[in-house]
Structure 1
Amino acid sequence: MYTNKLARWLYAAAVLLLVCAFAAPTPASAHSVLTKAVPEPNSQLNESPPRIELTFNERLESQLYYIKVFDEIGRALPDLKAALSADQKTMSLDLPKLGNGRYTVTYHVISADGHPVEGTYVLSIGPGAEGAIVGDPSSLHAGHQLSADMSVYDVLKYLSRIAYYFGLLALAGWALWGAFADLRHSAIAETYRSGLLGVQRAHFLALIAFVYFHYQDLLGDQGLGELVDLFTGTWVGRSWLAAFVLALIGFAVLGRSKAGDALVVGLLLAAKSVNGHAMGHDPIWLTVSLDFVHLLGAAVWVGGLLLIVPQWKKNKAWVDGFLPKFSNAALLAIVALALTGTATTLLFLPSLRYLLYSQWGILLIAKVVFVVLVILLGLGIRLAMRQRKEKDVRDMVRMDFGAMAIIVVLVSLLTFISPVPPNEPLYWHEMGETASSPHMTVQVAPMVPGDNQFRIDIWLTKELGKPKQVLLKLQDTDKPDVAPIEIPLAEHTNEQPDAGYTADETYEQHSYKADGPFIPFPGNWKMEVRIMDKNDDETVYTTVKRVY
């Protein structure tokens, strides 16, 4: 009777959360992304700018941010400290009067979801070489993608995340089952107590490793002197500090009372809920709540399996009595996991099509496959229990345990990889098919929805001279009913022509620029360049690039 009533409440709560998720706005966020820079990255200025202003798409942490400026020989400009706007989205740095030359600007922030974001670009002042587009000035994340060429340090970083999530869920689930299934006074009381101490130690060591492999990215180049600000001035640092304190308290409190166990576990899960992707999306109260319920459901499932599998041969009588309780609770937990996971995905992604564009989406699809497998195993276990097929129950529980381990690994990776892929500047070069055909390079930075800097360099033979017409058009192939956008190009004097072509006296370089909001929204943008020479011969180049 109690289980049925609890099921009805959980179903109602999950449906309510899902309705709220559909009703809530769904902004797209890939950690924090630089959306506007004044002066523009890689620009040529006639005189020293009064300040540098960097605007991001979402709120930043209020500590551990900086803008640093280096001169041509790599010396940092002294006594410069960046400031953050009231809405915590714009970072600015007042500059002294700068002399002519090339300056390198580098920045570091921590996004609201606790991930470090860094970038570097070049500014040139006065006559001289114009800065080339350097890297990705919009968002250079500290190792947020899986790749075959990851360093040993990056591999250890991911392994520490897996160990931490498994340790957290194991501890939370073990403690909750011990409290509410009264394992302290059961046939496995001694095993439960020794196991509780074991999972506490494993969780604490995994937490230390997790923090060790992540704190340096958050500090950037600021050194260990900023550790206090990290742990007290940022949400990610506060959550780590709370987790350390609660883990230590747990050694003295857990296993003594239901209320104490529930309080410590609830606070541990809450501390994790305010550190991650949930903090980077609105409404925060909903995303954090969904994350908490998701973690709680996972803990119930993981903890129960950890109790059952080792005891199958040691204490079969106890397993037979515990398995029906676990089956009912696991079913409710999986329902909660499925609904909260669906709601979270709808909040994180602007469209379900994004599942196919990123590592995050691919990993999520893999997780869904294993969740469906777990649901089928759960139904099979319940059916086999009714038919008293002990061997089938045992085999399916073991399979359930294996699927659980894989899902925990996938979840630990999902929490670090950005849901929406980061945008990267465009560098597009085309060689002419014949000696008289134009060569062309297009650069667009930062290549994000909103304001961008467009630059086209064209090389024609001296015999053909200046192009008669140069057109640049953009069209979102996902929205064929929207007409192409024509970019208003203006001739641009290039202070430093491309050396590869200027060495060949056969060609002349012609440059064009445009600045403005000509990529108005995310999409799969087709870029078309039309070049007409003095003989009215037209060359057309096209490429397609997705903007997230």
Structure 2
Amino acid sequence: MAMVLLFLLIAAAASLWVSPPQAFAQLYSGMEETNFDPHKQVGHDHSDGTQSEAGITVSQALFYTVRAIYYAAFMFAAGLMLWSITLPKDAESGLSKLVQKWSIYSLRGLLLAVLLFVFVHASQLMKGYDGGNSNEWVRLLTETSTGQSWLALIVLSLLGFTVLRLHDSFKMIWALLLIAVESFNGHVNALPSNTFAIVFDFIHIVCSALWAGGLMLLLLLWRTDRKEAGRFAERFTKVAWLTIVLLTISGIGMTALLLPSWRYLFYTSWGFMLLAKSGLVLIVACVGFLLHRRAKQQKLPSGKLLKLDGLLMALVLILASIFTYVSPVPDTEPLSYHKMGETLHYTVIITPNGPGPNDVKLKIWLPKTLGSPASVQFLLRTPDNPKKADINVPVRGASGENYLAFPGFLETDYESDKFELPTRGAWEAELIITDQTGAVTKQLIPFRND
């Protein structure tokens, strides 16, 4: 009970760390037209206006707390089911009885957690819409990928009680199906080409479930049968090492696919939580090494090390449950700057205007008597580091939209390939235009990318 209360307190505190503009990956705009926004799929097309600039709301804190509870219940249920396949089938052994008993408990906890999570999350999504209309709830659950995944979770949670009585092959299928549903419901599903990301996520969750379920089983054995705990510890620590290796590989793969730039690790709540989780996993690996060494020496596991491992597991699961629903893309606004002059009009658009990869679009209007520019240069520099060389962004001709027309002026459009803004903060763009007569015009555009 103490561990459960500690888990809830940490989950609530961790949820307060998340900045509201970056919360709810399903609704973030860093990637266009994703499957995350159920309202777009059921015919709604409104931006999320529920986020408070002053801080995280009580409902958001509740959401992340419920999400953490669901994620822990999910990992324990899937993990125990996978471990039950590998254990001896002696029905009279203490280990078999313990696994059978806690498998039922974990399934009950999973069912309650899934129902609570679906209700809280659906209520959040239905705010501002006709939430009292049962038809809208039915459409949310049946006509969206998110709702369909929730229904699958509920059905699988109910089937779990029957699967416990079936052959091991059905148990494995059940656990892998449960994990597959969760891997299709994460932020990797927002990627335009998400096949590899979903595979990485699936491997990541399988390994997480094996580690969490195995550690939970080891902690339970430590309380009931120390000798059995010692025998299981040797088997668990071997598997734990393999899972940590696969967790690292799959985690790096997902991060590389999700983040346009590694710099996002240091500019977003998602990046900070990922770094914190990585640090905790590193400590877990060290604790696992010490436990494995004791197991090889035929010694019983250290109670202090097991408790430390359990605490680390709780922290890792809480962080994972939160940052899987936080946008990895920084919350920035594209720069759109337009200036009118007597002999020159221009528009500069930088997207997404954040640290890392960006692209620029230019619209330049010169008098028709001068025609199109002979050449255009676009330079970037940061006032915070004046000694650093300017960033020269090559631009080429483009066919832009002619949404503005000025009598007597000719519009010419330009665009760039991806270029890097290495830091966040104050920047200055310099637009250098050379016309057909050789006259040079320079324009300075100050802006910020944070």
- TM over 0.5: same fold? yes
1:415 paired residue number:
324
> Contact 1:63–1:229 (CA<8 Å) still a contact in 2?
no
SS of the residue corresponding to residue 527 of structure 1 reads strand
Which of 323, 326, 339 is 2:249 aligned to?
Answer: 339
2:366 paired residue number:
none
2:82 paired residue number:
176
Matches of residues 438-517 of structure 1 in structure 2 within 5 Å? 475-477=379-381, 480-483=390-393
SS of the residue corresponding to residue 448 of structure 2 reads strand
Matched, 1:365 2:275: yes
C-alpha RMSD of the superposition = 4.5
> Contact 1:174–1:304 (CA<8 Å) still a contact in 2?
yes
Identity of aligned residues (%): 27
Residue 412 of structure 1 deviates from its aligned partner by 0.5
1:102 paired residue number:
none
Matched, 1:221 2:196: no
Flag the structure with higher helix content: 2
**Aligned pair in 2 of structure 1 residues 244, 235: CA closer, same or farther (>3 Å)?**
same
Aligned mates of 2:37, 2:271 — CA distance in 1? 30
**Aligned pair in 2 of structure 1 residues 445, 350: CA closer, same or farther (>3 Å)?**
closer
Matched, 1:211 2:118: yes
> Contact 1:175–1:255 (CA<8 Å) still a contact in 2?
no
SS of the residue corresponding to residue 65 of structure 1 reads helix
Aligned mates of 2:287, 2:391 — CA distance in 1? 47
Residue 275 of structure 1 deviates from its aligned partner by 0.8
SS of the residue corresponding to residue 182 of structure 1 reads coil
Aligned mates of 2:306, 2:115 — CA distance in 1? 32
> Contact 2:428–2:444 (CA<8 Å) still a contact in 1?
no
Aligned mates of 1:515, 1:193 — CA distance in 2? 72
Matches of residues 369-384 of structure 1 in structure 2 within 5 Å? 369-384=279-294
Matched, 1:197 2:108: no
String of CA shifts for 1:78-114, please: whole Å, max 9, x gaps. Answer: xxx97xxxxxxxxxxxxxxxxxxxxxxxx73xxxxxx
Aligned mates of 1:523, 1:479 — CA distance in 2? 14
Aligned mates of 2:50, 2:92 — CA distance in 1? 48
Q: Which runs of 5+ in 1 are unaligned?
A: 1-29, 36-55, 67-80, 83-106, 109-117, 120-139, 429-441, 455-472, 487-491, 493-513, 531-537
> Contact 1:349–1:419 (CA<8 Å) still a contact in 2?
yes
Aligned mates of 1:517, 1:33 — CA distance in 2? 28
Structure 1 or 2, whichever has the larger Rg, is 1
Residue 543 of structure 1 deviates from its aligned partner by 3.5
Residue 212 of structure 1 deviates from its aligned partner by 1.5
Q: Which amino acid letter does the alignment assign opposite residue 428 of structure 2?
A: M
1:259 paired residue number:
169
Matches of residues 502-541 of structure 1 in structure 2 within 5 Å? 521=418, 523-524=420-421, 526-528=427-429
> Contact 2:394–2:417 (CA<8 Å) still a contact in 1?
no
Residue 311 of structure 1 deviates from its aligned partner by 2.2
2:311 paired residue number:
402
Aligned mates of 1:363, 1:339 — CA distance in 2? 18
**Aligned pair in 2 of structure 1 residues 375, 276: CA closer, same or farther (>3 Å)?**
same
Matched, 1:159 2:65: yes
Which of 333, 336, 352 is 1:424 aligned to?
Answer: 333
2:446 paired residue number:
542
Matches of residues 284-299 of structure 1 in structure 2 within 5 Å? 284-299=194-209
SS of the residue corresponding to residue 275 of structure 1 reads coil
Q: Which runs of 5+ in 2 are unaligned?
A: 1-24, 338-346, 364-376, 382-387, 397-403, 405-410, 432-441
Aligned mates of 1:62, 1:389 — CA distance in 2? 52
Residue 451 of structure 1 deviates from its aligned partner by 8.0
Which of 134, 147, 160 is 1:250 aligned to?
Answer: 160
Which of 261, 271, 278 is 2:181 aligned to?
Answer: 271
SS of the residue corresponding to residue 222 of structure 2 reads helix
String of CA shifts for 1:220-279, please: whole Å, max 9, x gaps. Answer: 525342222222222111111111001111122225421121111111111111111121
**Aligned pair in 2 of structure 1 residues 260, 354: CA closer, same or farther (>3 Å)?**
same
Aligned mates of 1:543, 1:451 — CA distance in 2? 13
Residue 32 of structure 1 deviates from its aligned partner by 7.1
Q: Which amino acid letter does the alignment assign opposite residue 314 of structure 1?
A: T
**Aligned pair in 2 of structure 1 residues 245, 222: CA closer, same or farther (>3 Å)?**
same
Aligned mates of 1:400, 1:259 — CA distance in 2? 30
> Contact 1:527–1:542 (CA<8 Å) still a contact in 2?
yes
In the superposition, the TM-score normalised over structure 2's length comes to 0.71
> Contact 2:230–2:299 (CA<8 Å) still a contact in 1?
no
**Aligned pair in 2 of structure 1 residues 329, 540: CA closer, same or farther (>3 Å)?**
closer
> Contact 1:451–1:516 (CA<8 Å) still a contact in 2?
no
Matched, 1:302 2:203: no
**Aligned pair in 2 of structure 1 residues 452, 150: CA closer, same or farther (>3 Å)?**
farther
2:141 paired residue number:
231
Aligned mates of 2:222, 2:198 — CA distance in 1? 36
> Contact 2:140–2:147 (CA<8 Å) still a contact in 1?
yes
Q: Which amino acid letter does the alignment assign opposite residue 311 of structure 2?
A: G
Aligned mates of 2:28, 2:416 — CA distance in 1? 16
